[in-house]
Amino acid sequence: MEILAFGVQADEKPLIEEAFAGHHEVRCLDVLLNEDTAPIAAGHEIVSSSVNAELGGRVLEILAAGGTRMVAQRSTGFNNIDLDAAERLGMTVARVSYYSPYAVAEFAWTLAMAVNRRIVRASIRTRDFDFRLDGLMGRDLHGRTAGVLGTGKIGEAFARIAHGFGMRLLGWDIAENPACMQLGMTYVPKEQLLAESDLITLHVPLMPQTQHLIDAAALKSMKDDAILVNSSRGGLIDTAALVAELREGRFTGVGLDVYEAEAGLFFLDRSLEAVDDDTLARLVTFPNVLVTSHQAYYTRDAVGQIVETTVKNVLDYRAGRRSENVLVPRS
């Protein structure tokens, strides 16, 4: 049986091919899975999708009509998948429920430090042999307050690093994490966390309840010199409202590895095309904003775990087994 894998990055391809060797043949495509590319999967019982795949009802119908019976998504989040449609079509859907939390937490800290210490601006200057320090002044984070929205495995890993910096820790989640409390974290209402934190980081899943968790009111409640980092899902932040606050000169820095309208942009080379997303175009012009292309998870360790779990999900499906990774079971 040949597995068809969509949205495979060049660095990811050898890991996928090695992991599937001895189990199933796998064909890797660099195109993302969406309504235009779904017909390619005709004749393939199993397809594997990437985090930015568009798996709404129409795409799933096209896949099902072509004989696809399982979608193995290579990511934790599944807000891009119409699970009701998958169940109606009798399709099995599985995800990767766990991979290295350190990959994302460390990258969130990379964004925070880069905007705080003006690393991108400094690098651009020195390439032009401009070694002035004007406009590059950052601040110590030791003794300041880090607010962690979402204190699961990734939030906990972020908090451990913040603890190492000697920061005061505030947390917000539906359930308290004992490991975070042992670090000295105090759980407070979201409004208090936003108002008191110097560094705010988002590590919650995207669902209807968290859509625009950071809306216009939340942004206005933050300190004018706060640092905001999002390495979770773009829809957690109302980007238009964020742009409006940035135009007022607010925030020391904003680091975004995700963007709410990233589908069709991220993971692709659009450098020779006119991008018609005015909000994103404005966002990247601010000198205190750093946008990266959903790469926080992208370490050899994390991708290796993702690929290994994807292979396990496929083997479980073939054997009729069910695991915690299955979102829609085999009918």
Active site residue 118: no
Report how far residue 214's alpha carbon sits from residue 26's, in angstroms, rounded to the nearest whole number.
Answer: 40
Residue 188 to residue 172: CA distance in whole angstroms? 6
Check if 212 is active-site: no
Indicate the SS3 state at residue 70.
strand
Distance separating alpha carbons of residues 282 and 285, to the nearest angstrom = 5
Q: Is 233 a catalytic residue?
A: yes
Considering the candidates 74, 118, 250, 294, report the single residue annotated as catalytic.
Answer: 294
**Tokens (6 digits) for 197:** 């934190």
Q: Return the structure tokens found at 213.
A: 């968790």
Q: How far is CA 195 from CA 89, 117, 170, 198, 253, in A?
A: 46, 22, 11, 9, 16
- The CA distance from 282 to 263, in Å, is 18
In the 8-state DSSP scheme, what is residue 94? E
Give me the catalytic one of 95, 118, 233, 250: 233
Provide the 10 A C-beta neighbour count for residue 279. Answer: 13
How far apart CA 252 and CA 118 sit, in angstroms, is: 10
Q: Which residues are catalytic?
A: 233, 262, 294
